[in-house]
């Protein structure tokens, strides 16, 4: 088992979209490399994925793993699981931490590719095909397995944003929500009472952004509604087309 630590980073990063595990298989000289990616919140969840795949692929020789967790990517682990030291886990971890994306951020222009993938566990299950790959071949195979799986997986940009609600009569809620979404605000879900819909939205912690939002809201509602701040949270947003 090896571990490294990362320096504190910004309060935004790229991760897997919510949903089922993403799987990809690579064949190299008759060896099968089955990569499984899962979005995880902590080390226990990452280790549970390894345990699940050991049960599912109980006849495989190796179940190598790597994961990176946290907004600042401070928790990083890898495991060769019986492969020659340094030929599986570390190349897998490198494939995760060096993956570059273009993020559609509320706080950044998103035009610069950055390596910020996190909250991801990768497990590569290997079935030996009878032909030795050598150390270099193993490094390339494990690295390519994870890199290709990540390239094909659905990703999102995750940001820590300021959360607000707007109290609006039920009859006006749909129109207001569409107007707010059309100009780029992240909608976070609605609450309801007998008379009003409490429309939830998120935005960057930037005074100019918030002033602009208040001005837009006043325009959309003829000054009848106001932004009520309700806290901060992590919110998933789409990546730009350039990934």
Which domains are seen in the chain, by residue range?
2-153 (3.30.230.30), 159-238 (3.30.70.240)
Are 172 and 122 in contact by the 8 Å Cβ rule? The answer is no
Q: Which of 2-11, 85-94, 129-138 has the lowest mean pLDDT?
A: 2-11
Tokens of residue 221, six digits: 């509602």
User: What pLDDT does 235 receive?
Assistant: 82
**pTM to 2 decimal places:** 0.77
User: What pLDDT does 241 receive?
Assistant: 43
Task: Tally the C-alpha atoms within 13 A of residue 109's C-alpha that lie toward its C-beta.
Answer: 3
Model pLDDT for residues 167-204, shown as the tens digit of each residue? 999 999 999 999 999 998 888 899 999 999 999 999 88
Helical ranges in the chain per DSSP H: 43-56, 89-97, 134-152, 170-182, 207-221
Are 228 and 167 in contact by the 8 Å Cβ rule? The answer is yes
Cβ atoms < 10 Å from Cβ of 26: 18
User: What pLDDT does 207 receive?
Assistant: 85
Cβ atoms < 10 Å from Cβ of 200: 20
C-alpha 208/C-alpha 101 separation (Å) is 27
- From residue 212, alpha-carbon distances to 22, 69, 152, 175, 209 in Å are 39, 34, 37, 19, 5
The average pLDDT across 208-232 equals: 93
């Amino acid at each position: 088992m090896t571990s490294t630590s990362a320096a504190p980073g910004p309060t935004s990063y790229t991760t897997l979209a919510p949903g089922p595990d993403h799987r990809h298989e690579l064949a190299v000289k008759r060896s099968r490399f089955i990569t499984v990616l899962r979005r995880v919140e902590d080390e226990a969840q990452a280790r549970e994925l390894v345990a699940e795949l050991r049960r599912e692929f109980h006849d495989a020789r190796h179940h190598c793993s790597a994961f990176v967790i946290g907004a600042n990517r401070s928790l990083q682990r890898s495991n060769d699981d019986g492969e020659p030291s340094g030929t599986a886990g570390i190349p897998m971890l490198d494939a995760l931490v060096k993956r570059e994306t273009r993020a559609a951020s509320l706080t950044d222009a998103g035009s610069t590719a950055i390596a910020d993938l996190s909250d991801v566990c990768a497990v590569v299950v290997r079935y030996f095909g009878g032909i030795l790959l050598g150390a270099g071949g193993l490094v390339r195979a494990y690295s390519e397995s994870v890199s290709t799986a990540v390239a094909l997986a659905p990703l999102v940009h995750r940001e820590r944003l300021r959360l607000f609600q707007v109290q609006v009569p039920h009859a006006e809620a749909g129109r207001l929500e569409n107007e707010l979404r059309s100009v780029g605000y992240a909608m976070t879900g609605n609450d309801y009472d007998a008379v009003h819909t409490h429309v939830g939205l998120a935005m960057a912690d930037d005074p100019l952004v918030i002033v602009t939002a208040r001005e837009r809201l006043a325009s959309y509602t003829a000054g009848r509604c106001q932004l009520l701040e309700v806290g901060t949270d992590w919110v998933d947003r789409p990546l730009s087309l350039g990934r």
